[in-house]
Amino acid sequence: MSDSVYKVIELVGTSEKSWEDAARNAVETAGRTLKNLRIAEVKQLDLKVEDGCVVGYRARVSLSFKYETEPKPKPRRK
């Protein structure tokens, strides 16, 4: 296995249907602009409440992606 570096970011996805959809929205939205997504971990779930009724779901997600590295240049001979 080669050495790798990963970045972990935190996102909040929302949905009017479910926590699963909220988490999926966070990951799929990030996946449109980030490459090499690796692990998503749901850290927290909460609800949006209006007038005593649930009107929305939120999922806080930690998402990791692998940094792309370029090969190290070979040393030049003098």
Q: What is the pLDDT of residue 34?
A: 92
3-class secondary-structure state, position 26: helix
% of the chain exceeding 90 in pLDDT: 73
The torsion region of residue 11 among left (phi > 0), alpha (psi -120 to 50) and beta comes to beta
Q: What is the pLDDT of residue 74?
A: 74
Provide the residue ranges of all domains of the chain, joining segments of one domain with +: 6-66
Residues 29-51: pLDDT tens digits?
999 999 999 999 999 999 999 99
CATH pick for 6-66 out of 3.40.50.300, 3.30.365.10, 3.30.1660.10, 3.10.290.10: 3.30.1660.10
pLDDT of 71 > 80? The answer is no
Global confidence as pTM: 0.79
Q: Which of 69, 68, 70 is nearest to 34 (CA)?
A: 68
